[in-house]
Structure formats: C-alpha cells, structure tokens
Amino acid sequence: MAQHPLIESFQRAGQAQVFAFFDQLAPAAQQRLLEEAAEVDLNEVARLYRSLVAKSDGAAGVDLAGLAPAPYERRPEHGGDAAAWAKAKSVGEQALRSGRVAAFTVAGGQGTRLGYDGPKGTFRVTPVLQKSLFQVFAEKILAAGRRYGRPLHWFIMTSHANHAATEAFFAEHRYFGLDRGRVHFFRQGRMPAVSFDGKILLETTSSLALSPDGHGGSLRALERSGALDLMQREGVDTLSYFQVDNPLVRCIDPAFIGWHVMRGSEMTSKMVPKAYAEEKVGHFCAQNGKSVVVEYSDLPMAMQRETDANGQLRYIAGSIAIHVLDREFVRRMASGAEGVALPFHRADKKIPTVDVAGAAVKPDKANGVKFEMFVFDALPFARNPVIIETLRADDFSPVKNADGVDSPKTCRDDQLRQFARWLKANGATVPVDASGLPATSIEVSPLFGYDEDSFADAWRALPTKPAIADGLTLA
Ligand code: UTP
C-alpha cells in the first residue's frame, strides 16, 4: 500500500519515529496523529535543532558587545517632561475616542507555577468579590469603552489546551457585559518538542509532544487567525498588549497609547525601575542603535549591579511585558520574511513521552527541548520604538506562583493598596499600615473606576461619600 505523503516527508526528514506505532492505531487515532503532524514545519524544526541544540551546549550566548542601558521617558514625578506626558495623554484619549485601539491579552500559557486547574484567566483574584482575572480585564475594557464613547475590540489568545474552556467561561458569564461580537478568541500555534538528538518526541503512541509556541507566537497567530484583517476593517491600528496574570495592569492607558502615536512608534513598552539589582526581570537595553530586551539570565550579574554617578543602577529599566503594538508592524513580523522573524529560544524540559515499546515514560530529568518565541524580541525590529516609565504600584502585580512572591496574596494586597491610594487621593480617610495596606477590605469595581482619573470622576459624582470603617465595595 502506498504510504501517506505526510509520513513519507517525516521519513525523509529523519523523523520516522513519529509514525512508529501508526499501523497499530485505530483509524481515529491515526487521523489525529496525521493532523498533528501536519501542523509541524519540518524545515523549521530541523533549522532550530541545528542552531539551538546541536551547535549549542544550552548556554544562552547572548552577544553583549556594544550593550548600553536603553533610554526611556521618565515619569514627571521622576524628572520627566510633564508637558510631554500631558500631551501624550490627550493624544491617547483622542485615539481611544476615534476607535483606533483594541485590547489584546495573551492567555495561552500553561500556568504551571500557579498550579491552578483551568485557564489562568478564570482564576479568582480580587480581594472581596473574588472576581476572575478575565472579569477584571473585561470590566476595565468595558469601562474604558464607555468613557471614550467607543466600545473596544478585545482579542484573546488561547492555547489548544484552554481554548474551549476559555470560550465557555465567557459564554457562561455573558461576556461580562461586553458586546460578544467584539470579543475574539484565537488559538496560538504549537511547536513539537525534540530530544537532544533532534527527534520529534511522541507524547503517546498517537500524539506528538506539542506545546504552545510562547507569547511571541501571538504575532503570527494574530495574522493567521484573521485578527489583523478584522482590525483593519474596523479601523483599528493600535493594539494594547498585556498578560493574563496581571490584574493591576492599566490595560487601556491613554498616556501609553499617546506616546506610541505621538512618536510614530511601531512598538512601545513600559518599564519599571528595578527594585534591586538581582530582581529577575528582563532589561531594556540599547545595542547598535536598536532597543532590545536582555533577560536577567543573560546579563552578567556584574553588569546588573553597575551603578551610575548617582548610585542608581545603570541597567535599571525592567520589562513588565506591557506593550503597544502597531497592526502593520505585527503583520510584518508575522510574514516570516527574511530577516524579520522572531527568534526561537530553547528550554530544556522533562517531557513525558513513550519508549520504543510504546510504554509511557515520565522522565525525572530533562530529556528534550521545547522551542518558544518571546514577544519582546520584536522590539529591535520596530521603527521608532519607545520605552516609558510606569509606576509598579499602578501597573504590575502578577499572579505567577502559588505562594511567596507574585502570588495571589501579594496581588490581593497590591490591589487593596491601590484602592486605598485612590480613596485617599480623593480625600477619604483610610487607615493603612506603613506599606499602604488598608486595615479593612476594600474593592473598587473597574466599572466604578479603573484608574485614578476614572475613579476621581466617579467619586466626585457620589452625592454622599460612603464610610470605610467596616470595609467598602464600590460597584
Ligand atoms: P509566563 O511566562 O508566566 O508562562 O507567561 P505561563 O505559561 O503562564 O506560566 P508558567 O511559566 O507555566 O508558570 C506570561 C504570559 O504569556 C502568556 C501567558 O498566558 C501569560 O499571560 N503565554 C505564555 C502565552 O500566551 N503563550 C505561551 O506560549 C506562553
């Protein structure tokens, strides 16, 4: 019997092991394996194996020649140009009023560190009402749409593993009041894992070891899914990108959008000053006239500790994964044209697989390599990139770990501090401890106020101000 052409192409590429059990499989399982195999770009896998595995010992080998700290726009309270920030805000508000902006959440990660069963966006984070991450973002986006008189489109990138559950969650909650026609879900791509000798690994006898291709995969997934075309039809050219695990994020931030528009930037990113030299964040740097992000693991500790004449860290600009992206820039990056593609990174992992007899193997040490792309690697390709400073307390408190740093507890406390700050800034009396944490539970719905400005307006409009002594929820 003639071989299936796909099987032949795997054989020719030295990947015959993928179909080692094929003849023993039921027709439905055969079909599934063929479908998964059809997703694999064999040339890409061979190229990545050659460049990232065969030729490398796993050390990152990032080129540090000519590296310098990246310039950034300081906040006015840190010496930045107050008039330029005010202008940026009004330009951003105008962009929002004219419907040019859409929100974009990457929610395709596996969330292994949190150890929560279900799409991470369904994790409950708010201090009193226990709203989910998705609900917090939905309400911020809804409120911003109302404030600027133009409802926003919201693009949400899922993975194969969580796509159906994510869609079902939104349907169950009636899209949290958003127009369902403006909420768009699409799956990110997958990459096969390979062994250290370049063989594509099977997870079971009838399935490949496939995993999401990293948040950088969002650029090609936006194109492939038709999201970019949809944006174009709708007159949207600016995407506000944020991660699913950070409920503090100003997901629609007029000043941020305004800097992007004012400078004709293709990619604008937020930085926070690093809290201490060893903090594990990526660093915004300049190199050969370009902006780049260098991961903490790739920047020698001696450089991370360097200080300037004022005793301030030189490499101070920490990346917090919040960006504004130009639609046509995303299209260019997604095109895969020579010289503009995002690089892949390798991660050595324990990858469940099968042995030669088809029996399940759960490795206790790394047995292969996964390939991922990172969205910040797009920065050096962007024209007129801009980096702006933001205040950590107003933009960044991710839920990454089950406990300790960046956990549900630290995130809850940071939300409480933010609500207390907003109240105090508007004249309310809120007892707080030395860290700004209120003594009582407070929750402000994004539908009441989702940033200082919208909160101040809503608070001012309250005919009688509520007492805070026994806790407060503002819906
Ligand atoms: P993280 O780097 O925190 O990874 O993702 P993760 O998969 O969520 O969590 P761990 O490392 O397994 O614990 C940062 C953001 O990028 C998204 C995540 O959903 C999160 O919003 N992401 C990550 C994707 O959308 N796709 C990916 O392939 C990886």
From atom 28 of ligand 1, which residue's Cα is the shortest distance away? 214
- CB of 247 closer than 6 angstroms to any ligand 1 atom: no
Express as a percent the part of the chain with pLDDT over 90: 94
Separation of CA 294 and ligand 1 centre (Å): 18
Answer yes or no: is the C-beta of 244 below 6 A from any ligand 1 atom: yes
Which protein residue's CA is at the shortest distance from atom 10 of ligand 1? 111
Give the pLDDT confidence score for residue 63 in this predicted structure. Answer: 87
Query: Which of 104, 105, 106, 350 most suits a substitution to test ligand 1, by most atoms within 8 Å of the C-beta?
Result: 106
Task: List, as one string, the DSSP characters of 204-228.
Answer: ETTEE-EEE--TTHHHHHHHHTTHH
Sign, Cα dihedral of 375, 380, 384, 390: positive
Question: How many whole angstroms from 378 Cα to the centroid of ligand 1?
Answer: 17
Q: Which sequence spans correspond to the domains of the chain?
A: 62-403, 407-475
User: Which letter, b or e, does each residue of 326-343 get, where b requires 16 or more Cβ atoms within 10 Å of its Cβ?
Assistant: bbebbbbbbeeeeeebbe
For residue range 102-117, list pLDDT tens digits in order.
999 999 999 999 999 9
pLDDT higher than 70, residue 60: no
CA 431, 434, 440, 441: dihedral to nearest 10 degrees?
130
CA distance 181 to 175: 10
Instruction: Name the residue of 245, 319, 320, 372 to mutate for ligand 1: max ligand atoms within 8 A of Cβ.
Output: 245
How far separated are the first and last CA of the chain, in Å rounded?
67
CB-CB contact of 82 with 401 (8 Å): no
pTM above 0.85, yes or no: yes
Whether 121 is in the pocket of ligand 1, judged by its Cβ within 6 Å, is: no
For residues 468 and 201, the model is more confident at 201
Distance (angstroms) between ligand 1 centre and the Cα of 240 equals 17
Pocket of ligand 1 contains residue 216 by CB under 6 Å: no
Encoded tokens for 471: 């806790």
Q: In Å, what is the CA distance from 329 to each residue of 195, 268, 388? A: 34, 12, 19
The per-residue pLDDT for 129 is 96
CB of 137 within 8 A of CB of 119?
no
pLDDT tops 80 at residue 61:
no
Mean pLDDT calculated for residue range 354-366: 96
- For residue 21, the CA-to-ligand 1 centroid distance in Å is 32
The closest alpha carbon to 111, from 410, 405, 401, 411, belongs to 401
**Across residues 196-204, what is the average pLDDT?**
97
C-beta 107 within 6 A of ligand 1: yes
Q: Which protein residue's CA is at the shortest distance from atom 5 of ligand 1?
A: 109
Residue 65 tokens read as 């020649």
Q: What sign for the dihedral angle of Cα 9, 374, 164, 361? A: positive
What sign for the dihedral angle of Cα 89, 93, 94, 99? positive
| pLDDT per residue as tens digits for the range 248-271 | 999 999 999 999 999 999 999 999
At the topology level, CATH places domain 62-403 in Spore Coat Polysaccharide Biosynthesis Protein SpsA; Chain A (3.90.550)
Which of 56-70, 159-173, 183-197 has the weakest average pLDDT? Answer: 56-70
Give residue 211 CA to ligand 1 midpoint distance, Å: 11
- The arithmetic mean of pLDDT across residues 69-81, rounded, is 97
pLDDT at residue 192 above 70? yes
Per-residue model confidence as pLDDT tens digits over 278-317:
999 999 999 999 999 999 999 999 999 999 999 999 999 9
The pLDDT value given to residue 471: 81
> Amino acid identity, residue 231?
M
Task: Report the candidate in 143, 137, 87 with the shortest Cα–Cα distance to residue 257.
Answer: 87
Cα of 375 to ligand 1 centre, how many Å? 11
Position 222 confidence tier, pLDDT thresholds 50, 70, 90: very high
Look at ligand 1, atom 27, and give the residue with the nearest C-alpha. Answer: 214
Beta pairing partners, 312: none
Ligand 1 contact, 245 CB (< 6 A)? yes
Model pLDDT, residue 469: 75
From 116, 218, 243, 371, the mutation candidate for ligand 1 (largest count of ligand atoms within 8 A of CB) is 243
Q: What is the mean pLDDT of residues 178-191?
A: 98
Which pLDDT band holds residue 11 (cuts at 50, 70, 90)? Answer: very high
The residues that bridge with 371 in the sheet, in sequence order, are 346
Rounded to the nearest angstrom, the distance between the alpha carbon of 419 and the centre of ligand 1 is: 27
Which of left, alpha, beta for 376 (phi over 0: left; psi -120 to 50: alpha)? alpha
Say if ligand 1 is within 6 A of residue 400 CB: yes
* Neighbouring-strand partners of residue 349: 368
- Is 157's C-beta closer than 6 angstroms to any atom of ligand 1? yes
Q: What is the pLDDT of residue 304?
A: 97
* Gap between the Cα atoms of 444 and 427, Å rounded: 16
Distance CA(109)–CA(167), nearest Å, equals 16
Q: What pLDDT sits at residue 472?
A: 86
CA distance 152 to 165: 23
Q: How far, in Å, from the CA of 439 to the mean position of ligand 1?
A: 33
Per-residue pLDDT tens digits for 136-182: 999 999 999 999 999 999 999 999 999 999 999 999 999 999 999 99
Q: Work out which ligand 1 atom sits closest to the CA atom of 113.
A: 13
Three-state DSSP state, 322: strand
**Predicted confidence band at 55 (pLDDT cuts at 50, 70, 90)?**
confident
- How far, in Å, from the CA of 5 to the mean position of ligand 1? 35
Assign 59 a pLDDT band (cuts: 50, 70, 90). low
Q: What is the chain's mean pLDDT, rounded?
A: 96
Q: Is the pLDDT of residue 58 over 60?
A: no
Separation between Cα atoms, residue 72 and residue 80, nearest integer Å: 10
Q: Specify the DSSP element, H or E, that contains 190.
A: strand 190-192
pLDDT tens-digit map of 378-391: 999 999 999 999 99
Higher pLDDT, 126 or 337: 126
Which residue blocks in 149-238 are alpha helix, DSSP H? Answer: 163-172, 217-224, 227-234
Q: Is the CB of 109 under 6 A from ligand 1?
A: yes
Instruction: Compute the Cα dihedral for 68, 343, 17, 204 and give only its sign.
Output: positive
Question: Pairing relation of β-strands 238-243 and 101-106?
Answer: parallel
Please determine, for residue 452, whether its predicted confidence score (pLDDT) is greater than 90: yes
CA distances from 64 to 27, 340, 443 (A): 52, 21, 45
